């Protein structure tokens, strides 16, 4: 089982739609979580850190459910420019670990 | 503010040739540094990470090596490239929480 799993998609949604991605993680030692956005042939860019209480940044909302070991990303009022691959990342916090565990990404296509 | 540089941006190399990719970070001290590879249509594969000068941890045994000669410099090398080394090479830095990526080097081995 992969440490971080995501539905690869693609999710094809019309402009203005709300879309949600889930990501599950298997390592209960994971304490920090992030969502990155990666455009085609570009580097991943940090979209949001995910806090235990959940957090919102404009049209984007991230939530963490430790009991069920999943993270979600909600995008409201989708724009064409939101089309990208969204990467879920977990970072274990036990001593001596400096690695980040990446999911393989979920592709989003926002259609006009 | 911090910035991360990688060069070259693109590279085409023949099989069996050597490789040297460089990454430098500005605006921070003692960062953790990382090399990842992303094959076409695939996820990120961690190759090496470093928590200090001269300290390298290898994640995947292969024909690549990494070095950190200075605090903010990270180099990825190979003596002889394989076809399977083609991919998008990304350098990243972190101070222990969020991680930030450089623009990447797209390597094609022919």
∠ CA B55-B60-B62 to the nearest 5 degrees?
A: 100
- Looking at residue B62, its pLDDT comes to 80
B44 vs A: CB within 8 A: yes
Q: Are B18 and B80 in contact (CB under 8 A)?
A: yes
- Looking at residue A92, its pLDDT comes to 83
The rounded distance, in Å, linking the Cα atoms of A57 and A48 is 8
* Model confidence band, residue A101 (pLDDT cutoffs 50, 70, 90): very high
Joined tokens for residue A70: 């999943």
Q: Are B55 and B36 in contact (CB under 8 A)?
A: no
- Looking at residue A97, its pLDDT comes to 74
Q: Which residues of A touch B49 (CB under 8 A)?
A: 98-99
Average pLDDT over residues B71-76: 97
The rounded distance, in Å, linking the Cα atoms of B98 and A51 is 12
The answer to whether residue B110 scores a pLDDT higher than 80 is yes
Instruction: Write the pLDDT tens digit of every residue in B12-71.
Output: 999 999 999 999 999 999 999 999 999 988 889 999 999 999 999 998 868 999 999 999
Residue B71 DSSP one-character state:
T
Query: What is the rounded (10 degree) CA torsion for B7, B11, B17, B18?
Result: 10
The answer to whether residue A51 scores a pLDDT higher than 70 is yes
A-interface mutation test, from B98, B102, B103, B108, most A Cβ less than 10 A away: B98
The rounded distance, in Å, linking the Cα atoms of B40 and B25 is 26
Question: Residue B83: what are its φ and ψ, rounded to 5°?
Answer: -55, -35
Which of B32, B43, B88 is opposite residue A105, by nearest beta carbon?
Answer: B43
């Amino acid at each position: 089982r992969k440490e971080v799993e995501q539905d690869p998609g693609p999710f094809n949604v019309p402009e203005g739609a709300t879309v949600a991605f889930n990501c599950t993680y298997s390592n209960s030692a994971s304490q920090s979580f992030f969502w990155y956005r990666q455009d085609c042939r570009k580097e991943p860019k940090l979209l949001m850190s995910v806090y235990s209480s959940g957090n919102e940044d404009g049209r984007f909302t991230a939530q963490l459910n430790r009991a069920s070991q999943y993270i979600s990303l909600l995008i409201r009022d989708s724009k064409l420019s939101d089309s990208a691959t969204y990467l879920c990342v977990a970072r274990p916090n036990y001593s001596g670990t400096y690695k980040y565990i990446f999911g393989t990404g979920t592709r989003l296509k926002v259609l006009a | 503010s911090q910035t991360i540089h990688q060069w070259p941006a693109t590279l085409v190399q023949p099989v069996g040739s050597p490789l040297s990719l460089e990454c430098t970070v500005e605006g921070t001290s003692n960062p953790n540094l990382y090399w990842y590879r992303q094959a076409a249509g695939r996820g990120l594969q961690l190759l090496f990470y470093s928590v200090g000068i001269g300290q390298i941890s290898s994640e995947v045994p292969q024909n690549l090596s990494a070095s950190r000669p200075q605090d903010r410099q990270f180099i990825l090398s190979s003596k002889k490239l394989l076809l399977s080394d083609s991919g998008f090479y990304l350098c990243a830095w972190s101070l222990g929480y969020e991680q930030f990526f450089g623009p990447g080097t797209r390597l094609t081995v022919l």
